[in-house]
């Protein structure tokens, strides 16, 4: 993690883990923890040892929070720990400031000293930066030179503020002009005008905290976070002590954020340079549940985001991809039996009264006439079709020229292929996993079964005689107009005569059969 903050280091690891998981190989939590610890520098050796020797396993959220806390501790110790200038062994030297510092054994003794305030080694309570008395001044001596950073852009926790305050408009998300006449009253009694209001986020290693009602006060010198509003908007609580603060989750009591006190103030030292980022089109796209670009652009004026001319989302491509619709068939037939569509339905969950479980459907492409043949097994398809071929070719004085089916085993076995070849019939097969190419037979299945169920429900009969109901449904459909030919009925197109409806009765109605004597 050279030249990286802890937040950047952990973010890189998370991106790599997510990329590997999206490729179909999720990584175990233990492996992620092992990889994270191995990438830490030597200054984290004590931390790594404490994590590896824990009695209970640690979670990723807790580990990330502890690492961010350890980063603050290490940087604080490096900044505040002073070192004597003398380096000679076994002799004393006068250091800057007129004091005499003994090096040699004295350094080893100092390394073994444990502070009574913070319980850390290497310094005494006199030089501890966690001291309760911040006004205490240590005797002057040379320290490690360190540049004093400006804190004008930092945020400070304030228990007396009723709203979050900032002088920088870039810290606001969805900024709106402040229309009220209210002002902010500061400690000296003066009133500061409010220019804008908005909201923002406070990122932590485990989750993002919401900052609502942020007021933009241009004349403010420091950014303030209202503790009361922070705790109100997020399910958390805060603990203050003389050395710093702890922000914890109210349910899990997990540490969300922590930091030291500095001259009586509690600054928030974040690895990020800003609190908020403007919501872009892709951000709202993810928040709104990946709507279509056309639908999302209709909300652009309301949610105030710019709409790009082109938009690409990998998740949408993976989740919403579908097969293009099939174009309508342009092939036409000019006479009956020129093309037959066929398919098998079954097995039925209910065995019929005649022990049938399947049925074979044959549809003439030219007339849309149905033939339905009940089957006890799929092996009966070939003999049934052989008898059907003899019947229709004799009755209508024409030959079957083409036979359209799917790739079912009952249609592509060697016996069936040889029969079609010997009969001079062209076998048209649909592509694998493409039932749309045999769509006419598939649609007729649906029409036939829907009609059968309607008849059975209306007659209030059990499911056992489903074959008889199926044959009745096919009989009636052949005498009804079709969308392809609304003026010529399938029966009329095949037999060249209009059907007779005078003998039809409601299916399942009461009837009295005549039984001739002596029965």
Catalytic residues: 158
Rounded-to-integer distance, Cα 365 and Cα 494, Å: 11
Helix axes 45-52, 29-38, angle to 10 degrees: 160
How far is residue 184 from each of residues 163, 164, 231, 376, 469, measured CA to CA in Å?
10, 11, 21, 88, 83
Q: Count Cβ atoms below 10 Å from residue 86 Cβ, excluding itself.
A: 18
Strands 244-249 and 255-260: antiparallel
* Neighbouring C-alpha atoms within 13 Å toward the C-beta of 367: 22
Are the CB atoms for 426 and 401 separated by under 8 Å? Answer: yes
| Enclosing H/E stretch for 340 | strand 339-345
The DSSP secondary structure of 326-338, one letter per residue, reads PPPP----SSTTS
CA-to-CA dists, residue 288 to 81, 210, 285, 311, angstroms: 50, 18, 5, 15
Can you name the residues that pair with 178 across neighbouring β-strands? none
DSSP state of 317: H
Q: Select from 258, 302, 301 the least CA-distant residue to 76.
A: 258
Supply the DSSP symbol for 265.
B
Run of H or E residues at 468? helix 466-477
Q: Around Cβ 143, how many Cβ atoms within 10 Å? A: 13
Contact indicator for 218, 238 with CB cutoff of 8 Å: no
Strands of 32-171, DSSP E? 92-94, 100-102, 155-158, 164-166
Nearest to residue 269, comparing CAs of 253, 251, 248, 247? Answer: 247
């Amino acid at each position: 993690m050279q030249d990286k903050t802890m937040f950047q280091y952990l973010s890189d690891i998370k991106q790599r883990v997510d990329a590997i998981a999206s490729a179909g190989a999720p990584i175990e939590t233990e492996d992620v923890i092992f990889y994270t610890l191995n990438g830490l520098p030597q200054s984290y050796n004590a931390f790594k040892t404490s994590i590896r020797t824990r009695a209970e396993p640690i979670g990723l959220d807790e580990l990330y929070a502890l690492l961010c806390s350890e980063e603050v501790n290490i940087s604080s110790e490096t900044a505040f720990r002073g070192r004597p200038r003398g380096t000679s062994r076994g002799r004393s030297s006068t250091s800057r400031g007129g004091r005499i510092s003994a090096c040699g054994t004295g350094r080893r003794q100092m390394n073994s000293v444990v502070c009574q305030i913070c319980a850390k080694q290497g310094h005494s309570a006199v030089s501890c930066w966690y001291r309760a008395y911040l006004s205490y001044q240590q005797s002057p001596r040379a320290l490690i030179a360190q540049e004093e950073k400006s804190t004008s852009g930092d945020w400070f926790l304030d228990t007396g503020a009723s709203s979050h305050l900032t002088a920088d408009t870039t810290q606001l998300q969805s900024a709106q002009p402040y229309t009220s006449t209210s002002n902010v009253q500061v400690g000296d009694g003066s009133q500061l005008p409010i220019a804008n209001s908005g909201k923002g986020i406070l990122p932590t290693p485990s989750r993002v905290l919401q900052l609502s009602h942020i007021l933009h006060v241009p004349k403010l010198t420091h950014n303030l976070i209202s503790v009361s509003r922070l705790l109100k908007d997020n399910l958390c609580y805060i603990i203050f002590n003389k050395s710093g603060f702890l922000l914890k989750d109210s349910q899990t009591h997990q540490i969300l954020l922590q930091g030291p006190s500095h001259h009586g103030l509690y600054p928030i030292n974040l690895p990020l340079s800003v609190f908020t980022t403007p919501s872009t089109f892709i951000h709202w796209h993810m928040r709104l549940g990946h709507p279509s670009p056309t639908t999302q652009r209709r909300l652009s004026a309301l949610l105030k985001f710019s709409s790009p001319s082109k938009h690409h989302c990998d998740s949408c491509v993976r989740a919403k991809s579908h097969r293009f619709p099939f174009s309508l068939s342009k092939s036409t037939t000019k006479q009956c039996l020129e093309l037959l569509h066929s398919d098998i339905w079954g097995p039925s969950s209910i065995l019929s009264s005649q022990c049938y479980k399947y049925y074979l459907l044959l549809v003439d492409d030219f007339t849309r006439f149905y033939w339905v043949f009940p089957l006890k097994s799929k092996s009966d398809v070939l003999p049934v079709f052989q008898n059907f071929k003899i019947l229709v070719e004799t009755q209508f004085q024409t030959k079957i020229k083409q036979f359209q089916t799917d790739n079912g085993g009952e249609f592509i076995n060697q016996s069936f292929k040889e029969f079609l070849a010997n009969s001079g019939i062209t076998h048209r097969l649909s592509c694998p996993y493409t039932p749309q190419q045999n769509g006419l037979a598939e649609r007729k299945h649906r029409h036939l079964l829907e009609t059968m169920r309607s008849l059975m429900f209306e007659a209030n009969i059990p499911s056992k005689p489903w074959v008889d109901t199926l044959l009745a449904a096919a009989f009636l459909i052949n005498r009804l107009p079709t969308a392809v030919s609304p003026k010529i009925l399938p029966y009329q197109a095949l037999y060249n005569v209009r059907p007779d409806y005078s003998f039809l009765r409601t299916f399942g109605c009461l009837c009295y059969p005549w039984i001739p004597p002596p029965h």
